[in-house]
Every structure is written in C-alpha cells, then in structure tokens.
Homo-oligomer: A and B are copies of this chain.
Amino acid sequence: MRRDVFQALADPTRRAILLLLASHAMTPSAIAVEFQTSRQAVSKHIQMLTECELVKQQQQGREIYYSLEIKKIKEIDKWLEQFKKIWEDRFDQLDNVLLTLKKNEK
C-alpha cells in the first residue's frame, strides 16, 4: 500500500479535511457532518492522514480530536523548493533578456 504524503493529498476530501483541521482540532464525527460522506469514510481518510503523519490525535474521553501536523506540510513545501530554484533561474534569464533589450534601445 502506498502511503506517502502526496498520495494522501491526491484525494479532494482529504485535502478538505486538512484545511478544516488547519483552523482547529476536530473529532471524526464533527468532520463527517461537513461532508456528504459517512463517518466511516472520513475515518478511513483520517487513518491514512495519520499514517502519513499529516495529522495527530489527542484523546479526550471517548472523543478523539485530530489536528494538523504542520511539519509534514512543510515537507511538501521542501519538495516544491527543488522547482523554485528553477523558476527563479528562468526569471533571471528573462530579466537578462529584458536588460539586453533595454540596452539596445539606447
């Protein structure tokens, strides 16, 4: 079973759950009422998010509050940074082109 952060983000419901949890911790049942799916479906999504460590839990009596694990979100950002170097470089190249054009105007 594939269980990495990117696989977790592939599902729109899971992305929505992450956004929900971003503002405050919630129980699975509370999350379920926000969507059209069943509590069990949400539970499955949460299970995956937990396995990927995108979400952490805190038990309170019989309720379990889930909240966002920001560390992992940062990992995605790290992966993106590999590309940021490139797009900055390309902007640099574009800048150079513009500079050359300006010089030629003179």
Residues on A facing B (Cβ under 8 Å): 2, 4, 6-7, 9-10, 12, 15, 18-19, 22-23, 68, 70, 73-74, 76-77, 79-80, 82-84, 86-87, 90
Closest to A77 in B: B80
Complex contact A76–B80 (CB within 8 A) = yes
- Bound-state Cα–Cα, A7 to B79, Å: 16
Of B6, B10, B80, B87, the residue contacting A80 (CB under 8 A) is: B80
Give A73's nearest chain B residue, CB to CB.
B83
Residues of B within 8 A of A70 (CB): 83, 86-87, 90
Residues in chain B near residue A19, CB distance under 8 A: 82
14 cross-chain CB contacts under 8 A: A2-B10, A2-B12, A6-B6, A6-B10, A9-B9, A9-B10, A15-B79, A19-B82, A22-B82, A68-B83, A68-B86, A73-B83, A76-B80, A77-B84
